[in-house]
């Protein structure tokens, strides 16, 4: 079925075959003669990096009868190639039957994507099928990652939009209350002005100009005039504003409530997609503990034991966040950050660094290289989850 799917997609592969054994190279070329595309062969280890960067293959075929040599070639690529981290490719290991267990372990660690045994050769079609499966898998993985990113973007936009609508409705209600209070205050101000005027008209300043017979009557007349004419005009102005605002708020609230069920269903579906977290650490016990903890909290967890594996997995699987150890053999967490921030699809992925080092210079260097946050490995579960959720935006209130 997969072979037919590959054919229907008209897959043509760029294959780079790396081997220092002529007989194994000839065997492999004969077995994959039906694969469409271009096949390039490198037999000199010094040319592997240059060939990969020039060809940018979809399939890297490591035909090494010494499995340690294949691992060495691939790690050297990740150390020195300019293109391997940005080139979507699959790695296929061709080995002897006696090395099957070692090849299996390397594939479990996701250093290689698949392996095929050709000595002794018991299935002459297995290599071709494996290549076709990997090519189809690349297309499926790319589509899956793109869809996942779109869905996550929709979820984040939906949560942010709902928050904005709620804030707008709340602000509208606040404005309505402010209008009512302003109307009361202005009317009180008008009444006070009339009282002040009545007092002035009974003072000596107005003798001979206005004769006030009864102070109380004057107060009442002025108050009635202000209330009837000025206050009514003030109330009319505010009333028109209040009516318009209330209509708008009512319509908005009605529309908002009418969409509540559908919106809640959408949010529930979007939030059911577990955020994908990559943990890079060379301590297997810590990896097991953190993986168990995050899985129970609804995260999808991937793990890598070194920087090379971590970069390889991150570029293929697009995690929502990366939890990274500071100290690892050969390459450090800082090396990982530099490599990740140089890649377009990882540049915006938040990285939280686990460290036992709280020295200012260590923290500052990591911040300069692009780390999002820090955690001590001894941090309680609540702190770890809080910082992780904050980094990937799950602290937005639904």
Report residue 201's pLDDT band, with 50, 70 and 90 as the boundaries: low
| pLDDT score recorded for residue 358 | 63
* Nearest CA-CA partner of 302 in 279, 323, 325, 275: 279
Report residue 142's pLDDT band, with 50, 70 and 90 as the boundaries: confident
- 357-367 pLDDT tens trace: 667 777 788 88
Please state the pTM of the whole predicted model.
0.58
Say whether pLDDT at 33 is over 70: yes
Output the CA torsion 332→72→86→108 (10° steps). Answer: -80
| pLDDT score recorded for residue 9 | 44
Say whether pLDDT at 92 is over 90: yes
Distance, CA of 126 to CA of 135 (rounded, Å)? 14
| pLDDT score recorded for residue 5 | 47
Mean pLDDT calculated for residue range 7-17: 72
- 96-116 pLDDT tens trace: 999 999 999 988 877 889 999
- 217-248 pLDDT tens trace: 666 666 666 555 555 666 666 666 666 666 66
Q: Cβ(353)–Cβ(335) under 8 Å?
A: no
| pLDDT score recorded for residue 347 | 86
Say whether pLDDT at 66 is over 80: yes
Backbone torsions φ then ψ of 209, nearest 5 degrees: -105, -50
Mean pLDDT calculated for residue range 245-269: 64
For the chain, percent of residues with pLDDT exceeding 70: 67
Say whether pLDDT at 94 is over 90: yes
> If 0-12 CB within 10 Å is exposed, 13-18 middle and 19+ buried, where does residue 98 land?
exposed
Say whether pLDDT at 150 is over 60: yes
Q: What 3-state class would DSSP assign to 265?
A: helix
Distance of CA 89 to the CA centre of its chain: 23
Q: Cβ(43)–Cβ(64) under 8 Å?
A: no
> For strand 351-354 and strand 321-325, is the pairing parallel, antiparallel, or unpaired?
parallel
Backbone torsions φ then ψ of 378, nearest 5 degrees: -90, 5
Q: Which of the pair, 42 or 189, is modelled with greater confidence?
A: 42
Report residue 292's pLDDT band, with 50, 70 and 90 as the boundaries: very high
- 329-353 pLDDT tens trace: 878 888 899 888 888 878 889 999 9
Lowest mean pLDDT among 22-36, 175-189, 246-260: 246-260
Report residue 392's pLDDT band, with 50, 70 and 90 as the boundaries: confident
| pLDDT score recorded for residue 82 | 85
Q: What 3-state class would DSSP assign to 341?
A: helix
Distance, CA of 312 to CA of 111 (rounded, Å)? 8
User: Mean pLDDT over all residues of the chain?
Assistant: 79
Q: Which residues of 241-276 are buried (b: 16+ CB within 10 A; e: fewer)?
A: ebeeeeeebeeeeeeeeeeeeebeeeeeebeeeebb
Say whether pLDDT at 89 is over 70: yes
């Amino acid at each position: 079925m997969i072979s037919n799917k590959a054919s229907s997609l008209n897959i043509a592969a760029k294959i780079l075959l790396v081997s220092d054994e002529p007989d194994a190279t000839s065997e492999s070329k004969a077995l994959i003669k039906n694969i469409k595309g271009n096949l390039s062969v490198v037999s000199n280890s010094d040319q592997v990096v240059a060939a990969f960067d020039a060809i940018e293959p979809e399939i890297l075929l490591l035909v090494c009868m010494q499995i340690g040599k294949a691992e060495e070639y691939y790690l050297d690529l990740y150390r020195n190639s300019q293109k391997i981290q940005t080139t979507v490719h699959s790695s296929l290991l061709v080995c002897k039957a006696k090395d099957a267990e070692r090849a299996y372990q390397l594939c479990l660690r996701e250093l290689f994507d698949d392996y095929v045994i050709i000595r002794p050769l018991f299935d002459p079609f297995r290599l071709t099928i494996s290549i076709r499966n990997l090519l189809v898998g690349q297309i499926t993985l790319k589509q899956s990652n793109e869809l996942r990113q779109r869905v996550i973007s929709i979820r984040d936009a939906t949560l942010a939009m709902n928050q904005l609508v709620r804030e707008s409705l709340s602000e509208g209600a606040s404005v309505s209350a402010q209008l009512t209070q302003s109307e009361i205050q202005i009317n009180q101000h008008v009444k006070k002005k009339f009282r002040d005027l009545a007092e002035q008209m009974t003072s000596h300043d107005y003798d001979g100009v206005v004769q006030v017979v009864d102070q109380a009557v004057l107060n009442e007349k002025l108050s009635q005039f202000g209330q009837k004419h000025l206050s009514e005009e003030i109330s009319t102005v505010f009333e028109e504003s209040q009516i318009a605002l209330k209509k708008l708020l009512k319509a908005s609230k009605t529309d908002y409530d009418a969409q509540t069920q559908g919106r809640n269903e959408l949010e529930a579906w979007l939030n059911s997609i577990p955020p994908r977290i990559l943990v890079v650490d060379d301590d297997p016990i810590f990896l097991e503990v953190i993986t168990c903890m995050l899985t129970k909290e609804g995260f999808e967890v991937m793990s890598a034991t070194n920087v090379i594996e971590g970069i390889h997995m991150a570029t293929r699987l697009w995690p929502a966040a990366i939890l990274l150890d500071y100290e690892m053999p050969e390459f450090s967490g800082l090396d990982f950050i530099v490599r990740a921030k140089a890649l377009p699809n990882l540049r915006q992925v938040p990285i939280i660094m686990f460290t036992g080092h709280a020295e200012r210079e260590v923290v500052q260097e990591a911040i300069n290289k692009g780390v999002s946050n820090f955690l001590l490995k001894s941090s309680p579960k609540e702190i770890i989850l809080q910082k992780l959720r904050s980094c990937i935006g799950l602290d937005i209130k639904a």
